[in-house]
Structure 1
Amino acid sequence: MSTSSIRMYATAVCPYCVRAEQLLRRKGVTAIDKIRIDLDPARRDEMMELTGRRTVPQIFIGDLHVGGCDDLYELDRSGGLDPLLAKLAG
């Protein structure tokens, strides 16, 4: 999957960001475009404008805003994550 396929707004010390990335890696994702909002406050503003949320991670698969870590795990539990990732890979 290309780097631009999955975008994650994150910070360096966020355990939820680590958990989300671990799940995506287990699913075969090799590249994640990580946007470090702790290093660039303007990117935090961008994230809040796009998502309406202040917390990290905020994950996009393609153009779809999946949400945060709990949202990503719930998407996986409900069977929705694999089809989204398959569309990017195919």
Structure 2
Amino acid sequence: MNSVVHTIDSSSGKRRLQVVRRADGLFGYQEQYCYTNALAGVDRWASLPPTSSLFESLEAAVREAPYLFEWLAADHISAQPCTAADGFAAR
């Protein structure tokens, strides 16, 4: 099972990149974005499809992230931060 060992948030708080340690000891990414369910009045984190990038260390994964995720390198997103923790959050 994967465990989150590091999280990088966008300056807007609407995107995040979680660095996960896999069961085999390698590190990978889980990219997420925050969306609002207007009917339920909650914010929620949703995961994008996983990348195929794998790294031998946490340091290598963090160092390479800006080269693999354009939003992280540019970080020009301007919106209200997500209020969701790890699941749902009331608005």
The TM-score with structure 2 as length reference comes to 0.30
Higher percent of residues as strand: 2
Identify the structure with bigger relative contact order (alpha carbons < 8 Å, sequence gap 6+). 1
